[in-house]
Amino acid sequence: MSSEIIRAGRTGPLIRAKGIGKRYLGYAKPHHRLLQMLGRKTYAKEFWALRDFDLEVWPGETIGIIGKNGSGKSTLLQMICGLIEPTIGEIEVNARVAGLLELGAGFNPEFTGLENVYLKAGLLGMGRTQVDAKLDSILAFAEIGDFVHQPVKTYSSGMFVRLAFAVAVAVEPDVLVVDEALAVGDAYFQRKCHRRIQELQEAGSTLLLVTHSTDAVERMCSRGVVINAGSKVYDGPVRGAISDYLQLIFGSHVAEPAGKAAIKVLGETADDAVTELLASGNADVLSQRSGYNRDEIRVGNGKAMLADFHVVGQSGVPMLFPGQPVEFLVKYVFKSPLGRVIFGMLIRTPEGELVYSTNTFLERAEAFHHEEGDVVVVRWKFNAHLIPKQYLMTFGISQFDEFGQETIAIDRRADVMVLAVLGDTGAAQGVANLQAKCEIETMVGAGGKG
């Protein structure tokens, strides 16, 4: 079906997958494959990368597909793009689909970049005359210069992606499929790609995005799909998809708050508030504090608990003015002895844009050890040079693994508090107020007057 027909008002899904699955056969030794072909014995072991999977993709949707490594995300996209056939089930694609999957897909490494432009565009349904008309814009977007005349086997990964993306978006696809490819390249290129994706979305294109960035999914997508072990475990609003994905990654063994415990209004000075937090018991009362967001996402193994929160000097209310010094107090209760501990904080916009993130290991270059029953108050102090609006705050405690490479979530409460920055935005836009000062100096020309 042509792009013109789809954009003219198609009411059905562009992609419909019903009960699809992909099976691979593995052999312990190479000669076992031959022996099985001879019918001597069954040596193959089945592995289903995807099984009994249903999906409908409708015009104009932007769908974030998330899941752990090896869950089957890339297999799904390869079937949508027609690179592999399903072992079982049916998949119907009624759209022009352009895919950015593994690097070099659709490229011949022996061909030059220019030759591969025509090859890739041809595979996506463009004729040579159409490519000729768009060639200048493709090469301008890719920005690889004279390397376009060199074999692509000599390209860096960034050059690969630049050229592949430039071709993919030039065909103005009905469905653009992106599998982590935009993680390659510098910030300038990534920003340019995101801007081009926004233009395609505004023009009615559909986007399937595979990424490990929950911020990108929340910012860009209208729907989320979570895949685990080859099966679809969630399909719906983005917020729910992120929650399910984080629980798959970090676990969800943190106990719910126990009823409405009596909470005390804490002191207005930092020292008084810290003393009172340390002595106020071990109950989880954070959900009763001003500014609590009931739509928080909470994950972790529960070996320690984020139990309370206080804003110094604001009667505990997370409400302040641009540039105001602020101090957040975050209380943790340890249920088990833990080493290699780090505490973190994060601020972002309601749209999912990261504003600021740090942790105690980055700030102090050390991890901590605490015993069962310990109560810890972490003090975060900074000047809130933020544009007036509402922000979402995340706090949490994690633990380095024994190799110091990966972090294990102990109690991570994402978007747990709403921070309101009050006042007039004035002349500044964005999220941060850098308080820039502008000076203008003029040199009068030779023919001018002082």
pLDDT in tens, the chain (450 residues): 333 334 445 568 999 999 999 998 877 777 667 766 776 667 668 889 999 999 999 999 999 999 988 899 989 998 998 889 999 999 999 988 888 776 556 688 899 999 999 998 888 788 899 999 999 999 998 889 999 999 989 988 788 888 888 888 888 888 988 886 665 556 677 778 878 888 888 888 899 998 877 878 888 898 999 999 999 999 999 988 988 888 888 776 665 555 566 677 787 788 998 999 999 889 999 999 889 998 899 999 999 999 999 999 877 888 888 889 999 999 999 999 999 999 999 999 888 889 999 999 999 888 999 999 999 999 999 999 999 888 999 999 999 988 878 889 999 999 999 998 888 766 677 888 888 888 898 888 755 554
Which contiguous run of DSSP H or E holds residue 391? strand 389-400
Residue 231 CB: number of other CB atoms within 10 A? 16
Please name which of 372, 311, 378 lies closest in space to residue 342, comparing C-alpha atoms: 378
Let me know: does 87 contact 51? Beta carbons within 8 Å: no
Kindly list the domain boundaries of the chain, sorted by start residue: 3-249, 270-421
Let me know: does 217 contact 211? Beta carbons within 8 Å: yes
Let me know: does 385 contact 323? Beta carbons within 8 Å: yes
Residue with structure tokens 């049916």? 90
End-to-end CA distance of the chain: 69
Distance CA 406, CA 249 (A): 12
Which contiguous run of DSSP H or E holds residue 46? strand 45-57
E-assigned strands of 67-136? 88-93, 97-100
Please name which of 163, 189, 188, 165 lies closest in space to residue 177, comparing C-alpha atoms: 165
Give the three-state DSSP class for 340: strand
Query: Quick one: tokens of 270?
Result: 């930092």
Q: Backbone phi, then psi, for 21, in 5-degree steps?
A: -155, 155
Residues making up the chain, counted from first to last:
450
What's the pLDDT score for residue 99? Answer: 80
Residue 446 CB: number of other CB atoms within 10 A? 5
Q: How far is CA 19 from CA 53, 81, 90, 233, 286, in A?
A: 5, 17, 7, 14, 44
Give the three-state DSSP class for 376: strand
How many CA atoms are closer than 13 Å to the CA of 21, on its beta-carbon side?
12
What's the pLDDT score for residue 246? Answer: 85
Let me know: does 243 contact 236? Beta carbons within 8 Å: no
Let me know: does 267 contact 312? Beta carbons within 8 Å: no
Let me know: does 98 contact 124? Beta carbons within 8 Å: yes
What's the pLDDT score for residue 257? Answer: 58
What's the pLDDT score for residue 7? Answer: 40
Class of domain 270-421: mainly beta
Distance CA 379, CA 310 (A): 10
Q: What is the pTM of this model?
A: 0.74
Which contiguous run of DSSP H or E holds residue 168? helix 157-170
CB-neighbour burial class of residue 355 (10 A; exposed 0-12, middle 13-18, buried 19+): middle
CATH code linked to domain 3-249 = 3.40.50.300
What's the pLDDT score for residue 359? Answer: 95
